[in-house]
């Protein structure tokens, strides 16, 4: 006797179930198992320490690229360890950036200062930096759409590394990149480093001065 589709009297009527099996439903797309493993390994297991990152070449290269960018920007200089000032520690932060389809775009290593150890009035004074409000951005986009203007997006690579600082700040040499023969020395900052309390304000001041110096006097 066929009993599969029988229902008890008075119970809500259920739609008939499809007889189609999973084997008959074609997959929307396929992906290599090796690619899935790679994505899981680097996204779900991003290293939380330098020791863990140093075991993988992709993270070693990412750290080298970060140091290269910092040195190219002339962010610091070697100096003797000061006796009357605290030296701020630094830490490596690792992040895997993905494309829209889930594939790996790049491995990013960021050297961050331990800004929580900074003392107000000594290591920094002002930290406020204005940011664009969402309402302002929406208004500009609406005006551009109405006027049929083109909108261009600009991204500044390692933006905070371009901000000048007025305070005398020293940081430890980063793990894995301690200068040979200068292990006892520290780094005196010429420009801001990610993690510093004043880093956002330093970058804003730099970019604000850049634009203001290019505005004609009659428009200021």
Residue pLDDT tens, the chain, 220 long: 445 555 555 555 655 555 545 556 665 666 666 666 555 555 556 899 999 999 999 999 999 999 999 999 999 999 999 998 899 999 999 999 888 887 888 899 999 999 988 888 878 888 888 888 899 999 999 999 999 999 998 877 778 888 899 899 999 999 999 999 999 999 999 999 999 999 988 988 888 888 888 887 766 6
Q: Is the pTM of this model over 0.85?
A: no
According to DSSP, the residues that pair with 76 across neighbouring strands are: 189
Report pLDDT for 65: 95
Domain count, the chain: 1
Establish if 22 belongs to a structural domain: no
> Could you tell me if residue 9 is inside a domain?
no
The predicted pLDDT at position 62 comes to: 95
- Any domain includes 158: yes
**pLDDT at residue 112, as a whole number:** 95
In a domain, 124, yes or no: yes
* pLDDT score, position 220: 63
In a domain, 25, yes or no: no
- Reference 164, options 130, 115, 208, 111; nearest CA is 208
Residue-range definition of the domain harbouring residue 52: 32-215
Query: Are 116 and 195 in contact, with CB atoms under 8 Å apart?
Result: no
The answer to the question of residue 130 being in a domain is yes
User: Cα dihedral sign for 209, 124, 85, 161?
Assistant: negative
């Amino acid at each position: 006797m066929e009993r599969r589709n029988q229902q008890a009297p008075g119970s809500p009527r259920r739609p008939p179930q499809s007889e189609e099996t999973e084997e008959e439903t074609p997959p929307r797309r396929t992906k290599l198992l090796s690619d899935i493993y790679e994505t899981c390994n680097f996204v779900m297991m991003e290293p939380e320490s330098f020791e863990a990152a140093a075991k993988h070449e992709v993270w070693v290269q990412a750290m080298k690229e970060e140091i290269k960018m910092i040195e190219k920007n002339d962010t610091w200089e070697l100096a003797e360890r000061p006796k009357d000032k605290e030296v701020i520690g630094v830490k490596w932060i690792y992040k895997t950036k993905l494309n829209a389809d889930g594939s790996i775009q790049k491995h990013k290593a960021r050297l961050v200062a331990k800004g929580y150890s900074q003392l107000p009035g000594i290591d920094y004074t002002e930290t406020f930096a204005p940011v664009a409000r969402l309402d302002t951005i929406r208004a500009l986009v609406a005006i551009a759409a109405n006027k049929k203007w083109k909108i261009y997006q600009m991204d500044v690579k390692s933006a905070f590394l371009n901000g000048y600082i007025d305070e005398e700040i020293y940081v430890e040499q980063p793990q894995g990149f301690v200068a040979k023969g200068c292990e006892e020395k520290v780094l005196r900052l010429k420009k801001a480093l990610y993690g510093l309390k004043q880093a956002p304000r330093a970058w804003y001041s730099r970019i604000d001065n850049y634009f203001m110096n290019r505005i004609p006097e009659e428009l200021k």
